[in-house]
Every structure is written in structure tokens, then in C-alpha cells.
Structure 1
Amino acid sequence: MIMADVVVTGLGATTPLGGDAASTWAGLLAGRSGVGPLTQDWAEQLTVRIAAQLAEEPSLKIDRVQARRMDRAEQIAVIAAREAYADAGLGDDLDRERLGVVVGTGIGGATTMLAQDDILEASGPRKVSPHTVPMLMPNGPAAWVGLTFQAQAGVHCPASACATGAEAIAWGLDMIRSGRADVVLAGGVEAVIHPLPMAGFASMRAMSVRNDEPQRASRPWDAARDGFVLGEGAGVIVLESAEHAAARGARVYAKLAGAGMSSDGYDIVQPHPEGIGAARAIKMAIRDGGLTGADVQHVNAHATSTPVGDIAEINSIRASIGDHPVLTAPKSMLGHLLGAAGAVESIATILSLHEQIIPPTINLENPDEGLTLDVVTGEPRKMQLDAALNNSFGFGGHNVALLFTRA
């Protein structure tokens, strides 16, 4: 079977840097941090009192009546998907039986579950919302996106922790290549800035405790890094068969040339220190795209700002690609968007190819001695880019690498 070429024709996002893809991209190029102090009363009792909250509240774009039936994650997934659909120039004449959705989440509607449990304990079962289950179920964001556009080729929801958004895009690639769909809305979402998840991550000592300087807290590869910063957001891209895109004269941002997925089989939280599983995923993606490691000029790194993970990724890149690629780490500005990270950072990778420029990594002031590759810092770097990789790795040993090439 000859596999169809798959291209990216639409982008949508809402993040700590902006309420859409364009403002998020502008924030990345400007080296602006989206991290700030938590001002909610409940944050006072926490060890970690900083996070990367949305720059624009979903209530500005979601109808108030509809919003009452939706978890925050569902709301922002729909916002990002609407933007991506419009950006792709898709209209009402699209064959809905050939439209698919793959939108994943790492945690799902946790804030709804916890809020409704509070109501249950305080006021009894009769006061629990009848919308509780559709709001808390992990497939809720994907389902709402599917309903918004009447998608009938299949609606799917991977859940692979911090690799989720990238895995969703890989699933979308497979849907088009297998002939199940011509167009797929693919991406990820997360909105769990809440005391319980934050307390849990803090108890693991996974998050930065730089409460007094939040904008400097997320510092990938810096010798003084002390953990990630929790963020929230959504990213959705429109994937389309190249034939379908050409037939309607669509603008193409980039080609999704390949995807690779693997698992570490090592630890529930820690990556393999040598990045062996991650390296396998990277090699698969490059091979799937018909390229070699020498062809990849840029890696948009997972780089969460954890002591072990950052260097494990460096090891995996060197083992699978070599010493030549130029790196950047968007989590230095976005924080860690968990299930949305791979999707939002794929958008950054796609735009780097489209505009031939790489955003900087901020807060990298004293590089770890294990950082042996070139990382963009200070100003964005203009350079010729023909192939770029986006890495996403998640708790449980999930590894996903996506290979994008210039349109």
C-alpha cells in the first residue's frame, strides 16, 4: 500500500502566552515567560505557589450556557480546534464522514471531579451536577471537538501523560495514511491547575519551588534547575492528505513526514538515564519519514527542567541524530502543559519550519555540564530548516517523536 503524504494546513492554540496560535508564537519568539504567582486563596497552603495559567480565559470565547456543561479542558480544546479549523480554510462543505478527531489529555476533567466531590460531601448527592460524568471523562475534550464539527470518521482520545498531545498527532497521521480520513483535527489539552495535582507533583519534588521569581523558575538544562512549572493550555492542528489539501488549494505549513513511538519499560516516573527508549522513538520517526539523522537540523526538545530528564534527552538526541541539531525548549516560557505539551510544541516546530526561525530558550544561564548540544538562547535564530523534530516523553515511559519537513 502506498501511504498518503500528510500535511499541516491549520493551527490553533490557547496557552499561557496567548489566546491563539499567533500570540503564542509571538511570545515564544520574544522570549516571554507565561509563568506567574498563583493568587487564589487555596494556593497559600501549597509548597509551590507558581504556575503558567492561561493568558486568556475561555469564557471570552465559549458561550456561557454551553460552558456550564463543559470542563475547563473541554472548553479550551474546542477553542483551539475552532481556530485550527478556520485557519485551515475548511468550510461547511467538508465531508464529515472523512473528518476525524484525535484530541488527548493526560489527566482530563480532574477539576470537575474534585469540585463535584466537594459538593457531594457538603450538600449531598442530589446537588451533584447532571453534567458531571461528561465533564470529567477523559474523552470529553475529543468528544466536544467531534460534536462541534460533526466528525464521523472516528473520535479518539489517547492518554499517555506528557506524551499525549504528540501521540494524538501520530494517531492522526495513521488515520490519514490508512485511508480512514482525509482530514483530522489532532492535538492535546490540559487544565488541572488545582491544589491536589499541584500538591501531588510537589510531594514528588518534581516541580520548581522558585516562588519568589516565577518567571525564572522553568530553566531547562540550567545547572540550577529544580523541576518543572505546571501550565495549562490546548493545541490542535489540522492534518490533511496532501492530495485533499491540493485539491482545495489549501495553504500548507509543513509536512508531517514521520512519527515514532516507544516505551522505556524502566520506571513509572523516571526516564531511562541514557534515553534509550526516547532514542528508539526518534530513530523510528526519522526512518518513517525516509530521512537520516544527518537531515534533521532542529529539535524542539521536551526539556521539562528536571535534573534527570533534561540530560537523558540530550543522550537520546546524540545517540539517534548526532551532535549537529540546534535545540530549543519552549517549556522555559510555557511551563509544562502536560497532555497539551506535545501539541503546542508541535505548533512551534511547524512554525519554525514555516518561518525559518527558532525561538530561544530562556533562563539557561549556567548550562549543566551534561548539555553538549547547541541550544538557542538570547535571540531567536534564523537558519535554513528543512527537517525538524518534536520530542515528547511522559510518565510511564511513553516516548513520541514527530518529524516535520518543510512544505
Structure 2
Amino acid sequence: MYRRRVVITGLGIASPNGMTISEFKSSIQKGTSGIRLIKQLKELSFSCQIAGFPIYKEEHLNNYFNSVELRGLKATGMEYGVIAGVDAWKDAGFYVSNSETPLWNTGVIFGTGILGVDKFREAIYKVDEGNVRRLGSNTVIQTMASGISAFLGGKLGCGNIVTTNSSACSTGTEAILMAYDRIASGNAEVILAGSTSDSGPYVWGGFDAMRILPYKYNDNPTQASRPMSASASGFVPGSGAGALVIESLDSAQKRGATIYAEILGGTINSGGQRNGGSMTAPNSIAVQHCIQSAIKNSGIYPEDIDAINGHLTATTKDSAEIQNWCEALGLKGNDFPYINSLKSMVGHCLAASGSIESVATVLQLKENFIFGNVNCEDLNPEIASLVPRDRIPTKTINFSPNIIAKASFGFGDVNACVIFKKY
């Protein structure tokens, strides 16, 4: 079946280490961490008292919300998603439409794991106190999962698909592939794709209770997130949002848009929680199948991949992920691509991780570099037996990648892998 070529024409970010694309690019090139001590977590007796979340002044929101929309706004995921989404839209050369006619060929696919947990908490207290009439008119949009895509769709006047997907840590990468499929098949011209995640103790508390977060780095936050390291002791929670304007090549060329990269294809699948897969562990056969299917779908060969942006969360599963990449690609030793993990600098941004990491991946293609893996000087011996040390750089290197594979693997044994190419 004929598929149209699909490209990326806009980027937006709300990351723990950058609120603009230029700031974010500089941070990942320099290895600047956005992980910090959170006093509230200490006061609440969390074992892990550190996290990564976007930092900005309250008045910054005036650039994205009007006074009515700001009234009672307590959904951090909504804030992050709107900031990233609107910035990506403008970066692509579009404007916020005031037309009464919807943009029929333009849509939004913006995922989240949970939205408005602080607003929901506020609502519970008011209802229990008998103050239901004081909830405010914007409570529903802040607490429904599709509130983020609905808000962006209305802000931009989109008349095509406007929806929210939710697949745990795979959400952002899945949203990109959903947008790609819709445009490649001719059902849309432009889609704003991305994902967001709330921040705060009510989001991160469950993970702290599972004892899968590091607790020995509260006095040294920037050292805590250690993907592929021998001393890795769990993932650091994070939050934020990433957004990409995905567009048909024909549309982008007609309007003379700047093109960041091309999307060649990809695959979404599940391990069915079989063969070792569970709610929290991946089915390795399914992971390998996802990677191989993404390569086949993209019309490339494994050896065409210059770099991998992995899921790599700084847990015991890191070595298993590297093993899966080796098996899926059939490449080991010096033939293995460069591989890195953004989580060393921002933590694990949960549902937002795939989109934030995809923005970082696209920037590497556009700007000709591979960012380093912070806190990975002591490479895990199991990984070292599979991949040469120089394939896992600890500092940013000048390199011009042509093709990068980006993968995300989520709770529930769900997987997504997308293939980006330099344009």
C-alpha cells in the first residue's frame, strides 16, 4: 500500500532541564540535569525525595491561557502539555486560528497517564465538605484524561482527530506513531502529537511505595539517575511534556516549512504479559518483535541505524533491554549503534517520557550530535559484555547520525518503536 512521506516541522518542550527548544538542546549537549531535591517529598516522608519537573514562573502561563482558563488551574500536566503543544505549533510556523471554520485536515493526538490529580484532590475535599457548587466550571476539563487534547484542539481550531491515548511509559512514542499512520494513509495533513505527565507526590507516591526509586541520593540529586550504570538503584520520577508537529511532506514543502526530520515508520505491540512479561516486566520476545517490525515497516536494515535512544530507566531491566536490542538487530560489538538515555538528566517522565525523548532524538538528527549518558562512568558489566564502551558515550560527541531508533516500553507489557531519519 502506498504511504505518503511524513516529516516533523515543529518541536515544543516542557522539561526538567529546559523550557525552550534552545535551552533544552543546550542542556542535553552539556549533560545538565534537571533533577533536584523536593522539600515536600521530605516533609511527606518519601524514601526518594528527589524528582525532575519543569521550572517556570507563574506569569509564564499568561502566554498560553487567558484569565478565565487560569482561574482555578491546578493541573500541572495540563500546563506542561499546553506549553509544549502551543510552542511546537508556533515553531512549525502556524498561528492560533480565530476562524469559525475548523481546520479539517489538522488534528491533535496528545497522551497522558493521569491528568489533574491535584485538581481532583481539591474536588474530593470540596464534595465531601458539601461545597460541590464551589468546584468551578473548569474542574472537568482539568481532570478528564482527554482534557489536554480537547484544550489544545480547541485552542488551535482542529477539525480532524482530537484524542488522548494512554499506554503508560509508551504513551508519547505511541502518539507519534498514531499521528504518523493517520498522515501516511492520507487521513490528515497535520497533527500535533505528544504527551504530558502530572507532577507531585500523588503521582510519584505509588512508585515510592513499590520501592523502585533510589533513596541514597537525596543529598546529591543530580547523581541519582544512572541508566546502564553498575550502581543504578532505581528510576528517578520526573514530569513534563514534549510535542511534535507531524505533517505530510507535501504539505510541509508547499508552505516552505523547516523540516527537522522524517519519520520512516514504526510499530506498537504488546507482550500480552506472557513469557516473563507482566504488569511491570517486559516480554523480551515481544520487545524484540517490536524493534524488528519497526525496522521492516520503515524499509531499512538493522545496520542502517546509527544510534538508539532507549527506554533505559536505571533499573535491573537495563541489561535486559540492551540484550533485546542486540538480539533484535543481530548486532554486537563494534557493529552496535551508539545508544543513550535521556533519563540520566531528567528522570523518568512517565507518560511524557516518549515525547520528551523523541524531541531529544530529533534534535540529535537535526543538529549532528549524540548526547552523553550522564552518571554512566561505571558501566554495568553485563552491558559491557555486549556493547563496547565507546558505543555508550558519557559525554556529547560530534557525530552526524542519519537514522535513529527510539523505543519506549511501558507498564502493562506494552511497546512502541519509531524510526527517525535525517531530512
Q: What TM-score, normalized by structure 1, do the two folds share? A: 0.94
2:214 maps to 208
- Specify the code of the residue in structure 1 equivalent to 2:359: I
Alpha-carbon distance, 1:95 to partner? 7.2
Residues 221 and 303 in structure 1, CA contact (< 8 A), matched pair in contact too: yes
TM-superposition CA deviations, 1:69-97 (whole Å, max 9, x none): 54221122111111111111124599710
The equivalences for 1:232-251 within 5 A come to: 232-251=239-258
**Does the 8 A contact of 2:102 with 2:157 survive in 1?**
no
The residue identity in structure 2 corresponding to 1:373 is: V
CA deviation vs aligned residue, 1:32-78 (integer Å, no higher than 9, x gap):
11000002377442222111021224641334432235422112211
Q: Is the 8 A contact 2:197 2:241 kept in 1?
A: yes
SS for the counterpart of 2:28 is helix
- State the 1:249 CA deviation: 1.1
Q: In structure 2, what residue type is equivalent to 1:317?
A: W
1:336 counterpart = 2:348 = yes
- Say whether the 8 Å CA contact 1:354–1:406 is kept in structure 2: yes
Identity across matched positions, percent: 32
1:234-280 CA-to-partner distances (Å, cap 9, x unmatched) read 110011100111111111111011111111122011223xx322211
Say which is worse superposed, 9-18 or 87-96, in terms of deviation.
Answer: 87-96
Q: 2: distance between equivalents of 1:327 and 1:147?
A: 38
**Aligned with 2:380 (options 344, 368, 375):** 368
Which amino acid is 1:96 matched to? L
**Distance in 1 separating the partners of 2:142 and 2:59:** 16
Paired residues of 1:326 and 1:373 also in contact (CA < 8 A): no
CA distance in structure 2 between the partners assigned to 1:218 and 1:123 by the alignment: 44
Kindly indicate whether residue 311 of structure 2 is the aligned counterpart of residue 297 of structure 1.
no
Superposed CA offset, 1:205-249 (max 9, x none) = 121112121111100011111111111111100111001111111
Tell me how far 1:391 sits from its aligned partner. 1.0
Distance of aligned partners of 1:193 and 1:255 in 2 relative to their CA distance in 1, 3 Å threshold: same
Instruction: Tell me which amino acid in the other structure corresponds to 1:182.
Output: E
Q: Which residue number in structure 1 is paired with residue 2 of structure 2?
A: 2
Alignment correspondent of 2:200: 193
Q: Distance in 2 between matches of 1:246 and 1:357?
A: 26
Q: Provide TM-score, normalisation by structure 2.
A: 0.91
Which residue does the alignment assign to 2:174?
167
What does the per-residue CA deviation read over 1:272-328, in whole Å, with 9 as the maximum and x for residues that have no partner? 3xx3222111111111110011100100111111112x1221022101122211001
Does residue 285 of the first structure (1) align with residue 294 of the second (2)? yes
Task: Determine the structure 1 residue equivalent to 2:112.
Answer: 105
Aligned to 2:158: 151
Q: Output one character per residue of 1:101-146: Cα deviation in whole Å (capped at 9) or x when no partner.
A: 1000012222221232233335643433332222111111111111
Q: State the number of aligned residues.
A: 403
Aligned-partner residue type, residue 28 of structure 1: I
Task: Tell me which residue corresponds to 2:269.
Answer: 262
In structure 1, runs of 5+ residues without a counterpart are none
Q: In structure 1, what residue type is equivalent to 2:409?
A: F
1:182-225 deviation line (CA, Å, top 9, x unaligned)? 0010011011322x332210111121112121111100011111
Single out whichever of 32-41 and 368-377 deviates more from structure 2. Answer: 368-377
Question: Which residue number in structure 2 is paired with residue 378 of structure 1?
Answer: 394
- 8 Å CA contact 2:41–2:48 kept in 1: the answer is no
The answer on whether the counterparts of 1:67 and 1:75 sit within 8 Å (CA) in structure 2 is no
**Which residue of 2 is the match for residue 80 of structure 1?**
84
Give the C-alpha shift of residue 362 in structure 1.
Answer: 0.4
Is the 8 Å Cα contact of residues 298 and 385 (structure 1) preserved in structure 2?
Answer: yes
Q: Given that residues 258 and 289 in structure 1 are in contact (C-alpha distance below 8 angstroms), is that contact kept between their aligned partners in structure 2? A: yes
Q: Secondary structure at the match of 1:181?
A: coil
C-alpha separation between the residues in 2 aligned to 1:353 and 1:175? 23
* Partners of 2:69 and 2:138 within 8 A in 1: no
User: What residue number does 2:27 align with?
Assistant: 27
Aligned counterpart in structure 2 of residue 65 of structure 1, from 65, 68, 76? 68
- Bigger Cα displacement from structure 2, 99-108 vs 375-384: 375-384
C-alpha distance in structure 1 between counterparts of 2:90 and 2:247, whole Å: 14
Q: Is the 8 A contact 1:78 1:148 kept in 2?
A: no
Match runs of 1:174-185 below 5 Å: 174-185=181-192
Distance in 1 (alpha carbons) for counterparts of 2:214 and 2:381: 20
Query: In the alignment, what sits opposite 1:15?
Result: 15
> Which ranges in structure 2 are unaligned for 5 or more consecutive residues?
none
**Structure-2 residue corresponding to 1:391:** 407
1:314 aligned to 309, 322, 330, which one? 322
Following the alignment from structure 2 to structure 1, what is the Cα–Cα distance between the partners of residues 376 and 71?
A: 41
Task: Tell me, yes or no, if the aligned pair for 2:72 and 2:136 is still in contact at 8 Å.
Answer: no
